[in-house]
Amino acid sequence: MAPSKSVGVLVGLLLLGLAVSAHDAAAGPPDYQDKVGVARWLAHQAVEGVLATTSTAFPGYAFGNTQSFADGTIKNSTGHLFFYVSNLDASIQDILVDPRCTFTLSEVETNFCKQNHYDAEDPRCARLTFVGTYRNVTSAEEPHAQAALFDRHPEMKSWNSQGSFHDFHFTTLEIEHIWLVDMFGGAADVDVKQYYARNNVTAL
């Protein structure tokens, strides 16, 4: 084998090895005792959740509604929850009156619970709720929000196509509390500063 060819094969094997180890790392969540890690992992794996607002259409009721989101591009997990929404959405009409809300993710969105035969309500199938205040992104945040959402939800690129009256815009949740159930024994209160600071979360 010519030297250049064997180098090529070696590099190929190395890349394959990296791809396999990245895949292995992505195959499962961090250990349940690493609450911050589990929260960041799920926030990066998931691409939709349920936003719950104080309803204006149904006064006195909480209103839960599916919302797509992204915490970064596939390669760049940030922990920040970015959304692309229209004021025509019932949830956003609620938000315009009262921006306090919760956003809930379930580990059923990954393969983990199905593989282990955990029902969504089984405490070993993580449930993660962010409590906070919804707001529009700043102009500094907007390029990151757009990169994250258009990477994870390519269809969104066309939502504000010319002539659209929906006025889709980028928003985020200013996280104040993080509630996580990830094992028997009750919910954990995940520290928000540690959540944002964690920077070694495996990419998808």
Q: How far apart are the first and last CA of the chain?
A: 36
- Range 42-77 burial, b when 16+ CB lie within 10 A, else e: bbbbbeebebbbbbbeeeeeebbeebbbbbbbeeeb
* Separation CA 158–CA 37 (nearest Å): 34
Question: Which residue's CB is nearer to ligand NAG, number 34 or number 122?
Answer: 34
**98 interacts with ligand NAG by CB under 6 A:** no
User: Which of 56, 65, 93, 136 is the binder for ligand NAG (CB under 6 A)?
Assistant: 136
C-beta of residue 76 within 8 angstroms of C-beta of residue 54? no
**87 interacts with ligand NAG by CB under 6 A:** yes
Question: Least distance to ligand NAG from the beta carbon of 148, Å?
Answer: 7
Place of tokens 């922990």: 79
**167 interacts with ligand NAG by CB under 6 A:** yes
**119 interacts with ligand NAG by CB under 6 A:** no
What are φ and ψ of residue 36, in 5° steps? Answer: -60, -45
Total number of residues binding ligand NAG (CB under 6 A)? 11
**Site map 25..44 versus ligand NAG, x via CB under 6 A:** ---------x----------
Residues that bind ligand NAG in the complex, under the rule CB under 6 A:
34, 72, 76, 78, 80, 87, 136, 144, 167, 169, 200
